[in-house]
Amino acid sequence: MSSRTAGVRTVRQILAIAGRNLTKVRRNPGLFLDTLLMPITFLLLFVYLFGGAVAGSSHDYLRYLFPGILVMTTVLAGLTATGLSINRDIKKGIFDRFRSLPIARSAPLLGSVLADSARYLVTLATLFVVGFLMGFRVETGVLATLAGCGLAVVLGFALSWATVLAGVAIREEAIVQTIAFLGIFPLAFGTTMVAPATTMPGWLRTWIDVNPVTQAVEAVRGLLLGGPVAAPATATLLWSAGFLVVLLPASVAVYRRRV
């Protein structure tokens, strides 16, 4: 068989697994709703509770916060859903079945992530509707908005491999779940998402400067509202590529060595 047909077969296998995962989401929407409702809750809470105090008015604060919440949404979905569902598949023996089939070794993992990407789109669309109802307006254009969403999804996709790695390395699902949910705090909140860094203590600013999510928040802010984009967008893409290059092979290696 030529390598090209092998490639086509792998893509079909990935699509089959992705279709299965989306069916599971439809029938079992709990985790999906978590990753949707948590950012929306934060959006409502922050805008109406602190907005006036932090930015002078709720509306100005919504304008500042929304791009950050958008990034938080994809990062949260990436950190929680994918790794946790893979962990479950391993425990139920479903990955054993996949692994005993003559299919590409990467298909089960890649199929899961592909299904998650489709979910991100639904989640982001919902977020934009809520933002619109609250009064948020994109100040650039459709293409820039799509680019912003794409950038956030790329980062979420890349970071999801951190939980995949934890999911294949750690047996206890509860521990993986805790790690995934706790990961959102330093990553999403240790950024300029809720407030500019100028008033923060030095150690926090150091972390914010290193944190790749900061770059994504700044880039998405630029893409939705206008402002510098090139530097933070490049940094986000480089970070995402870095995560993929390290975490993906590590996940596959640990997964193959599991009993």
Give the residues lining the site for other proteins (CB under 8 A): 9, 12-13, 16-17, 20, 23-24, 27-28, 92-94, 96-103, 107, 259
Closest CB to other proteins among 29 and 226? 29
Nearer to other proteins, 53 or 257 (CB): 257
Q: Could you tell me the smallest distance in angstroms from the CB atom of residue 68 to other proteins?
A: 33
| Structural tokens at position 103 | 């299919």
Q: Which is nearer to other proteins, 98 or 120 (CB)?
A: 98
C-alpha distances in Å from residue 122, one per residue of 74, 77, 126, 217:
11, 11, 6, 20
**Token pair in block for residue 196:** 């500019």
Calpha distance 123→197 (Å, rounded): 28
Least Å from the CB of residue 116 to other proteins: 16
The token pair that represents 179 in the structure block: 């790690």
Looking at the Cβ atoms of 107 and 237, the one nearer to other proteins is: 107
Nearer to other proteins, 73 or 80 (CB): 80
The Cα 186–Cα 93 span in angstroms is: 33
Q: Report in angstroms how near the CB of residue 178 gets to other proteins at its nearest.
A: 23
Q: Are 175 and 97 in contact (CB under 8 A)?
A: no
Distance CA 32, CA 35 (A): 5
Answer positive or negative: Cα dihedral of 244, 113, 250, 163.
Answer: positive
Task: Give the phi and the psi of residue 137 in degrees, each rounded to 5.
Answer: -130, 130
Measured CA angle at 215 (ends 239, 186), to 5 deg: 85
